[in-house]
Amino acid sequence: MLFGTAGFLETPDLDIYKKSAREYVRQLWDRWWPHRDDLQRLILPAKAWHISGTRPVNHPQRRLAALAVLAREWSRLQRASGKSSVAAADDFFQTLEHPFWNFHYTLTSEASPKEMALIGEARVADILANVLFPFWAAHDIEAPASPSTQLWTEYAKLPTQLSNRRLETAATRLFGNDPRRKELLRTVAHQQGLLQIYEDFCMQDSSDCAQCPFPEQMAKWV
């Protein structure tokens, strides 16, 4: 259903697929075909996807596959997230697998000789920072001993995995070539804080820092 409405099953011609993918695509198509006409209005047009420059492991088709597996394993995800434990969450994500997507970047790609994680470490860190920790905090599922302190301590330990243009822009504007720059970007908490500054100030300032109100606001906080 996900691949069909995403517009990735628009042709039933299996000849366009590699031999290693044909059986899997046939299964997708056979399951999608009975629902195709009823869901026609929901199918995304090809131009809705902008995949040029996308890293192969981040291709939308791999993301959809991961989402499908998460849906299938929803009860296990609920149990893992209910433990408010980074280790339990890591264990859950590391065990997710799919016989096709552990070895393919897209439906039309050659099979990779090396197995790939369905959800990689960088994505798990994003899910922890943006989904699970906020969920634990909002629902007060922290550990019983000093819950708020312990939750923050665990969150503050999360190491950074990847950077991006927004982070690099904000870091350059705030820290320049200061040698402490790397130290200030070592954890997910630091990155999230920097992204918040970028959203609240950098994206609102068209003066290239000349009239940015952030320094004045910082002075008030101090």
What pTM does this model have?
0.77
Q: Which residues face 187 on adjacent strands?
A: 159
pLDDT given at position 181: 87
Closest CA to 28 of 68, 56, 60: 68
Spatial distance between the Cα atoms of 86 and 91, rounded to a whole number of angstroms: 9
Contact call for residues 197 and 174 (beta carbons, < 8 A): yes
Task: Write out the two tokens for 33.
Answer: 């075909």
Predicted local confidence at residue 44, as pLDDT? 95
pLDDT of 143: 46
Q: Which residues pair with 159 in a beta bridge?
A: 187
| Residues 171 and 181 sit within 8 Å (Cβ to Cβ) | yes
d(CA 59, CA 51): 7
Rounded Cα distance between 73 and 98, Å, is: 12
Residue 207: the pLDDT is: 81
Q: Are 81 and 89 in contact (CB under 8 A)?
A: yes
The predicted structure's pLDDT at residue 105: 93
State the Cα–Cα distance between residues 138 and 130, nearest whole angstrom: 12
For residue 108, the model assigns a pLDDT of: 86
Q: How far is residue 4's CA from residue 158's CA, in Å, rounded to a whole number?
A: 36
Neighbours of 201 (CB within 10 A): 18
Q: Return the structure tokens found at 192.
A: 């999230």
**Model pLDDT, residue 148:** 64
What gap in Å lies between CA 209 and CA 211, rounded to an integer?
Answer: 6
- 3-class DSSP assignment, residue 111: coil
Consecutive 10-residue averages of pLDDT for the chain (222 residues)? 93 79 91 94 91 85 95 94 88 94 92 92 89 85 56 86 83 88 87 89 83 88 80
